[in-house]
Structure 1
Amino acid sequence: MGTDTAATLTDGEPLGASRSERLSALAQQHGALVTLVVAMLVASLSFDTFLTGDNLENMALSSAFLAVVALGMTFVIITGGIDLSVGSLFALGGVLAAWGSRYGTVVALLLPLAVCGLIGLVNGLLVARSGLAPFIVTLAAMLGARGLLLALTDEGSRTYLVAKDSFFAKLGQDSLLGVGVPVWITLALFVLGAVVLRRTRFGQYVYAVGGNEDAAALMGAPVARTKVSVYALSGLCAGLAGALNAAWLVSGVTILGSGMELEAISAVVIGGCLLTGGFGYLSGTLVGVALLKVIQNVINQIGSLDSAYQQVVSGAFLAVVVVAQTWLGRRQRVL
């Protein structure tokens, strides 16, 4: 979005906006939530097993790991960037966590955070300080992280296991009030992330950089430091998600994470963030993740459809959302 539009937004709605502008802003902000409610209603009427406790718990758990990755991606996309390395960092984080679990829970958590956070930091430095395109930088990091993963696992032939009776495994498998611990961790991270994004100076810088980088620099915003920070955060989130996934599976599975970067980008965009930057919110990202998982679950419930249809439906839905966002953005500028 342009600077003027970004500057006049308060919680997603333009100040002094006309009724048409407010409706457009509401559609952009809450369209995914309405779609999610409708999709869940249709699924519950079509399949008796959809609203069962086991099915909802499985959807929540499978959503938690993608949601953590998408959290970091939200910050990156709001600045107008992109991070293609998160899928490989997710897999790498899981392997590092499983390997480190033999030395205790602290190592199992800190090792993937340190390595994946460092890779994210390097991505940020190359993007912000060297002026390289985020697409190229993070694509190189994706390939590099996947190569490091293969080197650690002897080309994928070695799988590191997590002791089932360890505290680290309990982080992934235990439940609290009937809800898996990874889900609670994810919700806590989203609350913290929302506070940072909406209520701190750093969050204001994130929006300013995405709205108009030159204007943000003129206003005194630390543009380069903000970019470096969001890419480092994205790496940390991907590493943490991988670690939690390893605790859940009690192993570091090497084949995971392929295509996860596209899922994360889809969830963020479906949730209302603009790929051009300057606009977005974490609650929308969470809804976007839930909507993707509901679509996948419905396809699985049908049974007669191949799992490849998940990607077809998700891709088609993302295309529709991007077209709708473009139309809404143009409508707001015209009005």
Structure 2
Amino acid sequence: MTVTKTDARTAAARGAEPAAAAGPTGPARSERLTALVQQHGALAVLVLVSLVASFSFDSFATGDNIGNMATSSAFLAIVALGMTFVIITGGIDLSVGSLFALGGVLAAWGSRHGTLVALLLPLLVCGAIGVVNGLLVARSRLAPFIVTLAAMLGARGLMLALTDEGADTYLIGKGSFLAELGQGTTFGLGNPVWITLALFVAGAVVLRRTRFGQHVYAVGGNEDAAALMGAPVARTKILVYTLSGLLAGLAGALNAAWLASGVTILGNGMELEAISAVVIGGTLLTGGLGYVSGSLVGVLLLKVIQNVINQIGSLDSSYQQVVSGAFLAVVVVAQTWLGRRRQLM
């Protein structure tokens, strides 16, 4: 069989077609893979760690242990939800740990006047502190780190003043609706877990399906560009800090209902845990990119790691912080690398 030059050129052209087509699709496929790892990498690690722990420890996958982990994760998750909105805008909120403790004390104190007062009081006070944070950051253009650090100290001081330097502990009546809200169960899961799930569903809808959510991403991506496009930059910042304060106060109130008292020593370092969970879940500290679902996964991953350390038994509880810190460092390095990789594509 004789092959002419025309046939050879035609065959060569046909052979070159797949290579030409693969050119633009290769980077696109790589970019999708990078985005997938960045968004769902923490979920894959959570599943892997849970599977290993289930085979390694008999008590890990039991209903009681899972229920306890879910309930204890709920309060941190609510705080992390508010932190997600703040970090996506490029900010930070260091006051949430103190607001969490303050909210619990206010809820326990207010429970003497009924459940409505017990729930509204921490929301009003912590929400007002969030508004002040937002105003100072957005209107006065002060650094979020300094503003929320001052709020952290102020809220902690207010909580100590209410409890006589921690000497007074306010209790919540066992038969009250507030106690049932924190200690009761529905379909085998604690009520705080269901409240947390409802809040995360609402948060995901707000962030992804509303104009406010679009403004949150725009402000975090490029504040000047967002202002040029007509986005209300100052109002968006005020709202996210207000939301963070409200959620921290609510988490504190629910935790007080769960413990049946306003414990003053809680909340220390909680802001760092919340930031860690949000970053582990795929939200960039530089702002502009983040996922509500990822923050929930980040919280669960931290709690699972802590539970595994407790299951080992021979390790001191301080190792929880060591492991969490090391894991956070790895995640930040990985996110930075993935972010630069996506920009180059």
1:258 to 268, 271, 279: 268
Q: After the TM superposition, which residues 158-197 of structure 1 pair with which residues of structure 2 at under 5 Å, given as runs?
A: 158-197=168-207
Q: Which segments of 5 or more consecutive residues in structure 2 lack a partner in the other structure?
A: 1-24
SS of the residue aligned with 2:338?
Answer: helix
Shift of 1:20: 1.2
Corresponding residue number in structure 2 for 1:4: none
SS of the residue aligned with 1:82?
Answer: coil
Q: Measure, in 1, the Cα distance between the counterparts of 2:326 and 2:123.
A: 34
SS of the residue aligned with 1:18?
Answer: helix
Q: After the TM superposition, which residues 313-332 of structure 1 pair with which residues of structure 2 at under 5 Å, given as runs?
A: 313-332=323-342
Corresponding residue number in structure 2 for 1:3: none
SS of the residue aligned with 1:28?
Answer: helix
Task: Describe the superposition over 1:243-282 as per-residue Cα deviations: whole angstroms up to 9, x where unpaired.
Answer: 0000000000000000000000000000000000000010
Corresponding residue number in structure 1 for 2:66: 56
1:26 aligns with 2:36: yes
Q: After the TM superposition, which residues 59-70 of structure 1 pair with which residues of structure 2 at under 5 Å, given as runs?
A: 59-70=69-80
Corresponding residue number in structure 2 for 1:293: 303
Task: Describe the superposition over 1:19-60 as per-residue Cα deviations: whole angstroms up to 9, x where unpaired.
Answer: 111111111000000000000001001100000000000000
Q: Measure, in 2, the Cα distance between the counterparts of 1:265 and 1:16.
A: 35
SS of the residue aligned with 1:278?
Answer: coil
Q: Measure, in 1, the Cα distance between the counterparts of 2:269 and 2:174.
A: 28
SS of the residue aligned with 2:139?
Answer: helix
1:276 aligns with 2:286: yes
Shift of 1:237: 0.3
Q: Measure, in 2, the Cα distance between the counterparts of 1:68 and 1:30.
A: 20
Count of matched residue pairs: 321
Q: Measure, in 2, the Cα distance between the counterparts of 1:103 and 1:51.
A: 41
Q: Measure, in 1, the Cα distance between the counterparts of 2:221 and 2:272.
A: 23
1:99 aligns with 2:109: yes
Q: Which segments of 5 or more consecutive residues in structure 1 lack a partner in the other structure?
A: 1-14
- TM-score, normalised by the number of residues in structure 2: 0.92
SS of the residue aligned with 1:130?
Answer: coil
Moved more, 240-249 or 16-25: 16-25
Q: Measure, in 1, the Cα distance between the counterparts of 2:207 and 2:64.
A: 33
1:222 aligns with 2:263: no
Corresponding residue number in structure 1 for 2:144: 134
SS of the residue aligned with 2:104?
Answer: helix
Q: Measure, in 2, the Cα distance between the counterparts of 1:17 and 1:174.
A: 51
Q: Which runs of structure 1 show a deviation greater than 2 angstroms over 4 or more consecutive aligned residues?
A: none
Corresponding residue number in structure 2 for 1:39: 49
Per the alignment, do residues 111 and 334 of structure 1 end up closer, same or farther by CA in structure 2, a change over 3 Å counting?
same
Q: Is the radius of gyration larger for structure 1 or structure 2?
A: 2
Shift of 1:16: 11
Q: Measure, in 1, the Cα distance between the counterparts of 2:150 and 2:317.
A: 29
Q: Measure, in 1, the Cα distance between the counterparts of 2:115 and 2:343.
A: 52
